[in-house]
Structure 1
Amino acid sequence: MDFSAIDLTFDVCIMSALLLVSQVIRTRVKFLQNWFIPSALLAGFFGIILGKFCLNWIPLSSQASSYAGILIAVLFATMYLGRRNEGSFKDMFRRVGDTFMLNGAAEILQYGVALVLGGILIATVFQGVNEWIPILMPGGFVGGHGTAAAIGSVFEKGGWAEGLSVAQTFATFGLLGGILSGIICINYCVRKGWTTEIREIKDMPKDFRVGLVPEKDRTPMGDNTVNPMAIDPLAWHLVLVMTAVGGAYLINEGLQILFPQVSVPVYGIALVVGVILFAILKLIKLDSYVDQRVVSRIGSCATDYLVAFGVATININVVLQYWAIILVLCLLGFLLVAFYFFFFSRHLFSDHWVERGIFIWGWSTGVMSIAVLLLRVVDPEFKTTVLEDSGFAWIFVSFIDVAVVTFAPMLVMQGWGIATGAILCLIALAMLGATALMYGWCNRAGQKVFLKRN
């Protein structure tokens, strides 16, 4: 069946309606508010129930499952487009070095452990299961639906058509489980008296729980940096983002012609093109007319649709086929996240370890917004410097993220999954050891800090 522009329009309209219904329901249902279930995730669940694998009431097109792979390129294109320098590289790293090291090690270790243990499980317990599956757990957990879509799309091109549904399943379990387990963990830490800026979760600001901001608390999305007589400000920023995305797809087509055996993810190219495009704007003195807040909102909007479409198009039959290995790897992922929090975060962060650790918890099971969500639960007014430090650290961590997500799937497809995982584990442990040497080890039993935080 041919795919047309009207099919795309109907898909977007249907998902928009599901997002609308989900947001309205979220404003009325206390359970969804108290457990901070995102509207996009709820819309995705409605898409599964009403879609072709269950009730078959909504006519999403056959191409709906491919949208997540495109939207992740949009998200990556927005990451550095409009970002100004935040001081020298040396000064920034000195300030957030331990945050960078622990955040980066958390991601690398999750990929490493999944590849090693997952590979061993497939070789012994789950023989006959596709050996590419283990990398999809961290791809969905620490990577979120975007990275899951990216890796799943690479595997689809590599000949495993079911990879995308499996990847989105891991991302969905990670996102939902990360929120629920994170809230449980926070309650435990509150009872232990480990938090520094905590209030009872039930006392969180209403707008944060409900998702509707009162008029007095509203903030602008960004500035009108261009005159609408020439071009609409939102259109101007969308033009920049989509130019970067289009450039990435053109470059990818060229690379496939030159190097047909090499598969380079489009989203990684989109990030680089976004950086180059902004450098060109700087060169012609137009960079000051790019508002990063507006660019970020475009990326965040793409993420909502990415999550919704990603979840809604999960093939239930594929999930049932691989349910055992998916369940085991998900349990492994949550156990690793909990161990990392209670051991490494607890002993390597010299101040506000719960707040800093819970940020990693949320980021390691979902997306950055979930990390911020859990942080705000324990630090509602952001009195600590965790959010600011993590934002700076992300500048460095993102390079690790792009490198791992770009090259690890390629190595896995070549049959080097366990070897790649072992190397990643060693790198992560080296980073954790360096953090202990540089910033100290905290004995929480006696609250002794061997080397204080600068």
Structure 2
Amino acid sequence: MSFNWSLILHLGVLYGAIVLATFIRTKVAFFQKYLIPNPLLAGFILLPLYNFVLPRFGLEQLGLGEIAYHLLSISFVSLTLKKSPGKNNSRKEIVPMAMAFVFQFGLQAFIGLILTFMFIQTLIPDLFHSFGYLLALGFIQGPGPAFSIGQSWASFGVVDGGNIGLTFAAIGFIFCSFGGVFLINFGIRREWISRESVAFLLNRDLLSGVHPAGTDLPVGAYQTTESEAIDSFSLHIGLVFIGYLLAYLFLTALTWALSFLGDAGMQLAETFWGLNFIFAAVMGMLIKSVLTLTNQRHIIDNLTLNRISGFSVDLMVTSAIAAISLVVVTRYWLPITVMSVTGGALVLLSSIWYSSRVFKDHRFQRALLVFGVSTGTLSTGLALLRVVDPNFETPVATDYGYASGIIFLMMIPYILAINLPLQTYQSGNYLYFWLSVGISLIYLLLGTLYLGLRSGWGSLKISGSIWTVK
């Protein structure tokens, strides 16, 4: 009897690389100094293998892209299933946190689209017009959305969108690691970081990424069921996969309905499948609402869901980096390099500039989180935050948890309009492209106007200091 081993082999290779990367970080000072995430290191270990070696044995990169696609949605279901934390006294900083990311969305998309236009008009006239959007998707949303949305552009004739999105995401992780350490050291010199946080930088536990033997280990999850009936982890996995199944069924029904609109409807359906993670998140919210209405919300343990989302993100990052086609990177090396360097520098500067003006407390901690998430994922942002807030004693991480819901809702129009430049690519009508530029500019202006209203219009002045002292 013959069985399909493809998925198991992929998982074995991916996790073999993650375990290897974990041991490498415990021994190599370079990776400790720059806080290189183990999944990122694992992805780069596998990158040449999946490009040149493993395809000879039947392990293709396409399979990695599919793994990343599904893990993204699973992570979103697990995040939206979580119970909301109790009331706290830091809610005044939640909206500013959300607006900081709205500002970053607008800035990265606007810069990416303008640079795309410049390349089309000069050096690369056949470049697809949505290329610049992949900068924002890769940097601020991460490898999952960048691959998922970029891959859905195949229906518009763009065959390399997914791979380019993964490349931007990988470069964003690199910016996050090296730029984050630069910011921390810069903050130490400027005394933006407390002495206690500076002392924690010498903690080998943090640097190695593994808790040493004999130390008290943190609690990773709580049981909400009796194990003789069902394991608590199994119950949580079941809720997550029910949410993902509901998202699949909803999209299948939506595709059937849109098929009556002809080619335009099927093209829209293809786009919605690329945005699968949004529908998965909505289904997670729906399940949580049902559990609340039936007084069963107590069966949810947030720490267990953190483990599920953490597993999903770690594996997604490794598979996404390994799925990058070096042939595609070579083909688009110039716009990728120019946009990455320009975007990375602007994110670094704007994170400090905006955060020091819009936030009223823990400004440097918030700036690190904004920078980390705007170039990587939530896990990389939290890794940077943990350097200066080792036990998450500040409300920064909790505030982001609240703000993520606002960010998600505010980004829906942005995501739904993300195919507009492709209409220009197909028709040559630049109305759609400039409409996209205008939408990005609106998000940028919203973040800027909020800063002016909250902190005074004088805060918008570009002074000699990027960090304002209040």
Please report the TM-score for the alignment, with normalisation by the length of structure 1: 0.90
Quote the residue 1:452 is aligned against.
Answer: none
- Alpha-carbon distance in structure 2 between the residues aligned to 1:338 and 1:137: 15
Query: What do residues 301-358 of structure 1 show as CA deviations (whole Å, max 9, x unaligned)?
Result: 0111111111111111011001111001101211211231343223333443322212
The one-letter amino acid paired with 2:443 is I
2:443 equivalent to 1:433: no
1:107 equivalent among 77, 90, 105: 105
Query: What do residues 46-65 of structure 1 show as CA deviations (whole Å, max 9, x unaligned)?
Result: 11122243686765245232
Moved more, 228-237 or 60-69: 60-69
Quote the residue 1:251 is aligned against.
Answer: 250
Moved more, 39-48 or 315-324: 39-48
Say if 1:170 and 1:326, in contact at 8 Å, map to a contact too.
yes
- Alpha-carbon distance in structure 2 between the residues aligned to 1:198 and 1:53: 47
- Alpha-carbon distance in structure 1 between the residues aligned to 2:113 and 2:242: 36
Quote the residue 2:65 is aligned against.
Answer: 65
2:359 equivalent to 1:349: yes
The one-letter amino acid paired with 2:17 is L
- Alpha-carbon distance in structure 1 between the residues aligned to 2:348 and 2:113: 19
Quote the residue 2:416 is aligned against.
Answer: 407
Moved more, 189-198 or 125-134: 189-198
- Alpha-carbon distance in structure 1 between the residues aligned to 2:435 and 2:342: 19
Moved more, 282-291 or 72-81: 282-291
Say if 1:78 and 1:295, in contact at 8 Å, map to a contact too.
yes
**Structure 1 unaligned runs (5+)?**
450-454
**Cα deviation, residue 95, structure 1:** 4.4
SS at match of 1:5: coil
**Cα deviation, residue 108, structure 1:** 2.8
Say if 1:114 and 1:329, in contact at 8 Å, map to a contact too.
yes
Query: What do residues 159-211 of structure 1 show as CA deviations (whole Å, max 9, x unaligned)?
Result: 42211111111000100122101211221222122334664488332221111
Say if 1:281 and 1:287, in contact at 8 Å, map to a contact too.
yes
Say if 2:98 and 2:400, in contact at 8 Å, map to a contact too.
yes
Moved more, 272-281 or 119-128: 119-128
Query: What do residues 249-289 of structure 1 show as CA deviations (whole Å, max 9, x unaligned)?
Result: 12111111211231211111100111111111222222210
**Cα deviation, residue 122, structure 1:** 2.6
Quote the residue 2:369 is aligned against.
Answer: 359
What aligned pairs does 1:103-182 form with structure 2 within 5 A after superposition?
103-182=101-180
Say if 1:86 and 1:92, in contact at 8 Å, map to a contact too.
no
- Alpha-carbon distance in structure 2 between the residues aligned to 1:417 and 1:72: 28
What aligned pairs does 1:53-92 form with structure 2 within 5 A after superposition?
53=52, 59-61=58-60, 62-84=62-84, 86-87=86-87
2:386 equivalent to 1:376: yes
Query: What do residues 389-439 of structure 1 show as CA deviations (whole Å, max 9, x unaligned)?
Result: 2332223223234443x3132323333344212222233223322232224
**Structure 2 unaligned runs (5+)?**
259-265, 425-431
- Alpha-carbon distance in structure 1 between the residues aligned to 2:86 and 2:367: 24
Quote the residue 1:314 is aligned against.
Answer: 324
Quote the residue 1:27 is aligned against.
Answer: 26
Quote the residue 2:276 is aligned against.
Answer: 266
Say if 1:49 and 1:55, in contact at 8 Å, map to a contact too.
no
Moved more, 282-291 or 390-399: 390-399
SS at match of 2:230: coil
More helix by percentage:
2
- Alpha-carbon distance in structure 2 between the residues aligned to 1:279 and 1:96: 22
1:184 equivalent among 158, 182, 200: 182
Quote the residue 1:50 is aligned against.
Answer: 49
- Alpha-carbon distance in structure 2 between the residues aligned to 1:137 and 1:5: 36
Say if 2:200 and 2:390, in contact at 8 Å, map to a contact too.
no
Say if 1:197 and 1:378, in contact at 8 Å, map to a contact too.
no
2:399 equivalent to 1:389: yes
Quote the residue 2:296 is aligned against.
Answer: 286
- Alpha-carbon distance in structure 2 between the residues aligned to 1:299 and 1:381: 20
Moved more, 205-214 or 436-445: 436-445
Say if 1:34 and 1:202, in contact at 8 Å, map to a contact too.
no
Quote the residue 1:212 is aligned against.
Answer: 210
Shift of the 326–297 alpha-carbon distance from structure 1 to 2, 3 Å rule, reads same
- Alpha-carbon distance in structure 2 between the residues aligned to 1:94 and 1:351: 10
Moved more, 121-130 or 281-290: 121-130
Query: What do residues 115-156 of structure 1 show as CA deviations (whole Å, max 9, x unaligned)?
Result: 233333333332112222111111110111122122223223
The one-letter amino acid paired with 2:137 is G
Shift of the 266–117 alpha-carbon distance from structure 1 to 2, 3 Å rule, reads same
- Alpha-carbon distance in structure 2 between the residues aligned to 1:198 and 1:119: 48
**Cα deviation, residue 30, structure 1:** 1.1
Quote the residue 1:96 is aligned against.
Answer: 94
Quote the residue 2:311 is aligned against.
Answer: 301
Query: What do residues 230-260 of structure 1 show as CA deviations (whole Å, max 9, x unaligned)?
Result: 2221111111101111111121111112112
- Alpha-carbon distance in structure 1 between the residues aligned to 2:302 and 2:144: 20
Say if 2:357 and 2:451, in contact at 8 Å, map to a contact too.
no
Quote the residue 1:421 is aligned against.
Answer: 437
Say if 2:47 and 2:324, in contact at 8 Å, map to a contact too.
yes
- Alpha-carbon distance in structure 2 between the residues aligned to 1:381 and 1:232: 29
SS at match of 1:132: coil
The one-letter amino acid paired with 1:261 is Q
Q: Once the two structures are aligned, what percentage of the paired residues are identical?
A: 26
- Alpha-carbon distance in structure 1 between the residues aligned to 2:13 and 2:54: 15
- Alpha-carbon distance in structure 2 between the residues aligned to 1:295 and 1:352: 27
Task: Please tell me the root mean square deviation across aligned C-alpha atoms, in Å.
Answer: 2.6
Shift of the 359–75 alpha-carbon distance from structure 1 to 2, 3 Å rule, reads same
- Alpha-carbon distance in structure 2 between the residues aligned to 1:176 and 1:422: 30
- Alpha-carbon distance in structure 2 between the residues aligned to 1:120 and 1:114: 10
